[in-house]
Structure formats: structure tokens, C-alpha cells
Amino acid sequence: MGDYYVPAKYLLNKIVDAEILVAPFITAKTIELGSKYSPEFVCTPFKYTLGTMIESLDNGANILIQFGGGCRYGYYSELQEQILKDLGYKFELLNLITNGKANIKRIYKMIKRIDKNFNVFKGLYYFFITIKMVKYMDKIDDYIRKNIGFEINKSSFSNLKKEMLEKFASVNNPFSLYILYKKYFKRFKKIKINKSKNCLKVGIIGELYTLMEPFSNYYLERELAKFNIELKRFTNVTYLLLKYKKVNKKALKKSKEYMKYQFSADASSNVYWTKYLCDKKYDGIIHIKSSFCTPEIGVMPILDKIANEKNVPMIHFSFDSNTSEVGIKTRLEAFYDMIEMRRK
Amino acid sequence: MKVGLPKGLYYYYCQKWVYFFNELNVEVISYDTNKEIIELGNNSANSEMCLSMKIFLGHINYLQDKCDYILIPNLHYDKKNQMCANFNCLYDLVSNFFKVKLLTFDNKKEIKNYLKVGKELGFKSKQIKKAYKIATIKYNKTFKKLKLENMNKLNSINKKILLVGHSYNIRDKYLNEVIDLFKKFNIEIIYSDLFDDDYYFYLSKELYWKYSKINVSSVAYCKEQVDGIVFFTTFPCGLDSLVNELLMRKIDKPYLNLVIDDLDSLAGMETRIESFVDIIEQD
């Protein structure tokens, strides 16, 4: 998912003595493979992850790791295991989260099975560093998202980020990580940008996988940056790992007039974020999801209602494995023209 | 006083409420699904919602000016017994878009729910508790009877099929037109929603949806005794897309996967069902 393979690989490399294969970047072939063996109307992340699994198995992996989650994510692993076994692969699939809970005992047993010399304290130590790393990455990503649309020298942000991630991967203790983070944050701030004070601001909300995996939303953020727009996105791994419960509680409190009960997955936070973005006078909201995403579909009418009442334009994108890229570009351009016209 | 209970989604899990209201002399208004309701639902629902959800919204639309209150519970259990995500947003969807008075409860302790709703309707707690007790007895009696009948069908000499689907699909009067096609053959239909969830573990270890567990355990329980299995799903059901796929890969009986979107023509369904029955009868 996005750049998060860096901390994941870092953690596994440090705690277990095994060869780690990073899953290949998603390509059109991955999707084709994935949708070929997927059930008919499953949501799109299933197809992507299945495709990636098949490709990594072909590359010689024999242990796959899958994260469960809320809604349908949690049940992916069992069906994927069955599909891959029917295809004749031999492997082991480790599901870290079952029944919506991370079972620490189970995870410990799994790691013990891979590597017999596993040390708990060492594992916890590196887990702590990884969490810190993800936090710093998300902070820097937030800054990049705000300013990437206004860079003067093209791809100066992305080049610096690449360099930073490489440095991050060779860190050994939390202090040097912190120093690196400070250093790179300064360098990011020094990058020349041409940003006016009343630039267009757009918030992106939606379903987590589609938001965080740039290939699955056809590099929507990159396209948006070309229009000189400041972007705001809430969903990231920090939110999912650490803030999920807190944000959901806050969402229920702050948007009482629109919802009484908590929705599953990210739907209730999306209601809150929509209200937040409207109140902060953003120029537009983009809601993206994979097709057939049940929680988001249920909540979409409510999001529309909020945006309507507060008079903020909102556009919905639903990505499937065979959505055409040109259609999305056209709709984005039209959306951009509209919010620009409203400004005038 | 009239309380509306839309015959969709949770209606089939809230049967006890019907007895409860009857005991309190509250008129319960609910209609069977028909063409008009489906059209109303199609107009008021998001295009990507599943057919069951559309039917539900159609019912609300149809009921809204025919009753004083509509009962919409927020059914949710613990993490190991989750509901479909649609069930959690029903109340807020309706309260945001329809101007009807709503009765609601959060699924915590059963008797508390009844007390809350009963008090909102202006009854005393003594009355409510009595009505609740009688409703529980009546409900348990009928449910047990249905279960027994269903189990007895397993002993019949005729060919047997197991109909796997959610209650709100296989009990819906309008969608039942498809199931009625089976009835002209000499076949026993065993419903999957009248089982206990004791056996799901044999087929799926990580399953965490409350009502999918019942379906899976029904398959695990009687896959040896039936001659064929029919999966009955509305398009695009989130849970069934995964669970049914897993079941299809794990069973070795003949099966038929019926996915229903709009019931415009039954002719296509009829051919598929006939050929499926032919397969069963040849065994």
C-alpha cells in the first residue's frame, strides 16, 4: 500500500531471520490476474491483493502476510487462501488480525514458527521504531500534500521523499530516526514553492485502501496536484493503527445532527470529516471508494446531504478494476473548472 | 396507534416485536413486497445499494404516511457476531431523509430495548414486562415448530435441496417468485435460516458474521443428506460474495448460484432451475 512497504519491510527484516520479498508494484497484469480468480461482485481491494499474492508466489515467496480489518477486509484471508490452494500453490498465509482484534499470542506463535531465535524485547523495540517511522512519514506526507501542487522545480518533492525513505530504512535507534526526520522536514520546508494565500483547497475522503494505494485510484492525488490545489487527506496508517477509536468517538459527538449510531469501518469518520471540511471552508470534497464498498455506499446519501446543506461541491469516484483512466481525468477537470468558477 | 414495520432486512430478525405489539394492542402495519415498493425503492436508493436495501427503502417510502411510528433498530452484537454494514446505517439514513417519527433501540439487553420502546409509546413498565414475557413464549413456540418442520424435511424420501440465503431474501414475498419455481417439481426445500450456528467451524474458521454463520453451519450440517444446494443472493450482497464463494469451493454436491438483481423476467431463471432439477434427479 503506497510507500508503507518501507516500514513493513524494515520491521520484518529486523526481527526475523528470513528473506523478505517486497510485493511487486501493482500493474495492469496484477489486476487482470486478480479479477480472473475473484468472485463476481467482491470489492476491488480483494482483486488487487489477490493479484499481488499470485505475483509474489510466482516470485518464490512461501509465507504471505495479510492484515484483517473491519467490514469485509477481515474475511479476505480465508477465501484468498482457499482460492490460491485451489490454484495449486503451496504456502502459508498469516492473518494478523482476526475478528477485528490483533491477537498478540497468535502473532507471537506465528513469528516463532518462522524464526525460532525470535527475541520478544528485540521485536517490541523495533516495533516501537516502526510505529514512530510511520508517524513521521505521515506527518511529512501531510506537508507534501499541502505543497506539492505549487513546486517550482518538477518532482523535487518526490525525489527528496525517495531519498528520505532510503535513509529511514537503515536506521537503528529511535533517536537517529528523530534526527533524520527533523533534518528532512527542514529540507522539505526549504523547497521552493509558489503558493498564494487563497489557493484552492480540496479534501479527499473515502475508503481506506483506495485512498492509500495510489495505483488503485489512478494516481488521483498526482493529477490533482497538477491543478495547483492544496490537498488534505485524513486516512493514513497512523489513523488506522492509533487513532481509530478516538476519532470514531469524536465523530459521533461532533456530528450528532447527522448520525446517532456508529457505522462500520471508516463511514462514521467520513461523516465527521465531511462536516469538518465544510466548516473549514474547503472549496471541494472528493469522495473515493472501491466499487461495492458496502459501508461507504450506505453513508453516501448522508455525505451528500451535508455537502448540500453547507453548499460545498462534492464528487464521488467509484473505482473498479476496469475503470477507464480518461473518464476519471475528464471528470476531475470538470470538477476543477467548477470549483475555480465558484471562487470567482 | 399504528407502528410500521417495513418487511425488509431486520424484520425477519425482529419477529418477537410483532407479538409484543399485538399484546399491547398496538396496530402493526407492514405490507408484502410488491412491484410498486421495488420501484419506490429504486427511486430513493443509491444506485450501488444492494437489492435488499432498495426493497427496505421502498418499504419505508410506502409506509411513511400510513403510520405514526416506524421501528428501526440498530442491530449489532459483539466483534465475533457482526452484522452487515448496511444494518448499522439504516436508522441514520431514514432519519436524515424521511420525516417520520422513529422508534429505535441500541442492541444491548433485550428487556431494556422493549422497556425503552414501550415507554416511548406511553405504556407502563408493568404492562410492557408482561407483554414481553408473553411475546417471548409465543415466539419461541412458533420458532421451535418451524425449526422442527424444517428438520423433519430431511427425513423425507423425495429429493431434497438446501436453500442457502439470508432470511430477508428467502422469506421475501416478491423474491419468492423465484423459489416458487421449485415447487412444481416434487422436491423438498430446506431453509438455511432455521438452523443453529453450531457447525460453521467445520467449513470456515474465521467467519464473524452472525447470520452468515447460520447459513454456513446449515450447509455443514446437512451437506451429506441433501441432493443439491441452491445459493440465493441479491446483487451485490457483500457478505455472500465472499462466503458463498468459499462454500462453493468446499462442497462437492451439485449447486446452483442464483443472483437476483431486478426481477423483470423469470424465463431465464426458469430454464436454469429446470436444468438444475434435472441434474439432481439423475443422481
pLDDT at A100 over 60: no
pLDDT at A28 over 70: yes
Question: What is the reported pLDDT for A334?
Answer: 92
Check CB contact under 8 Å for A260 and B238: no
Question: What is the reported pLDDT for A194?
Answer: 82
- Residue of chain B with shortest Cα separation from A293: B238
B216-220 long-range contacts, CB within 8 A, separation 24+: B216/B243, B216/B247, B218/B162, B218/B164, B218/B190, B218/B192, B218/B193, B219/B162, B219/B164, B219/B192, B219/B247, B219/B251
Question: B79 and B194, same structural domain?
Answer: no
Residue A41 has its nearest CB partner, among B79, B84, B241, at B241
- Residue of chain A with shortest Cα separation from B106: A261
Residue B151 lies in a domain: no
Check CB contact under 8 Å for A295 and B89: yes
Residue B160: closest CA among B251, B280, B270: B280
A218 phi, psi to nearest 5 deg: 55, 45
Contact A304, A236 (CB under 8 A): no
Q: How many CB atoms lie within 10 A of CB B151?
A: 14
Select from 3.40.30, 1.25.40, 3.40.50, 3.30.70 the CATH code of A17-117: 3.40.50
Check CB contact under 8 Å for B48 and A291: yes
Question: B188 and B132, same structural domain?
Answer: no
Question: B163 and B86, same structural domain?
Answer: no
Q: Is the peptide bond before B73 cis (omega within 30 degrees of 0)?
A: no
Question: Per-residue confidence at A102, pLDDT binned at 50, 70, 90?
Answer: low
More confident residue, B252 or A70: B252
Q: Which of A37, A50, A75, A244 to mutate to test the interface with B (most CBs of B within 10 A)?
A: A75
Question: B82 and B33, same structural domain?
Answer: yes
pLDDT at A314 over 80: yes
* CATH code where residue B120 lies: 3.40.50.11890
B102, containing H or E segment: strand B101-103
- When divided into structural domains, chain B yields a total of 2
CATH 3.40.50.11900 fits A196-344, yes or no: yes
- Structural domain including B258 reads 156-282
Check CB contact under 8 Å for A301 and B241: no
Question: B216 and B193, same structural domain?
Answer: yes
pLDDT at A330 over 60: yes
What is the biggest distance separating any 2 CA atoms in chain A, rounded to whole angstroms? Answer: 66
Question: Per-residue confidence at A69, pLDDT binned at 50, 70, 90?
Answer: low
Contacts of A274 in chain B (CB under 8 A): none
- State how far the Cα of A334 lies from the Cα of A337, in Å rounded to an integer: 5
Mean pLDDT, range A18-27, rounded to an integer: 78
A318, containing H or E segment: strand A314-319
pLDDT at A68 over 70: no
Q: How far is A251 from chain B (nearest CA, A)?
A: 14
| CA distance from start to end of chain B | 56
The ipTM, to two decimals, is: 0.87
- A vs B: CB pairs below 8 A: 114
Q: Is A298 on the interface with B (CB under 8 A)?
A: yes
Q: Is A86 on the interface with B (CB under 8 A)?
A: yes
Which residues in A190-220 are b (16+ Cβ under 10 Å) and which e?
ebeeeeeeeebbbbbbbbbbbbbbbebbbeb
Q: Is B97 on the interface with A (CB under 8 A)?
A: yes
Q: Which of A87-96, A153-162, A238-247, B55-64 has the highest mean pLDDT?
A: B55-64
- State how far the Cα of A248 lies from the Cα of A264, in Å rounded to an integer: 10
Check CB contact under 8 Å for A261 and B53: no
Question: B137 and B189, same structural domain?
Answer: no
DSSP letter, residue A312: -
- State how far the Cα of A252 lies from the Cα of A205, in Å rounded to an integer: 17
Place of cell 455506499: A297
Q: Is A297 on the interface with B (CB under 8 A)?
A: yes
Question: B64 and B117, same structural domain?
Answer: yes
- State how far the Cα of B77 lies from the Cα of B107, in Å rounded to an integer: 7
Q: Is A40 on the interface with B (CB under 8 A)?
A: yes
Question: What is the reported pLDDT for A2?
Answer: 66
Q: How many CB atoms lie within 10 A of CB A31?
A: 21
Q: Is B16 on the interface with A (CB under 8 A)?
A: no
* Residue-wise pLDDT tens digits, A246-296: 888 888 888 888 888 888 778 888 889 999 999 888 888 999 888 888 888
Residue B150 lies in a domain: no
Domain termination residue (choose one: B118, B145, B172):
B145
- State how far the Cα of B134 lies from the Cα of B137, in Å rounded to an integer: 5
B88 phi, psi to nearest 5 deg: -80, -15
pLDDT at A21 over 80: no
* CATH code where residue B275 lies: 3.40.50
Residue B216: closest CA among B245, B187, B185, B192: B192
Segments of chain B scoring below 70 in pLDDT: 263-264
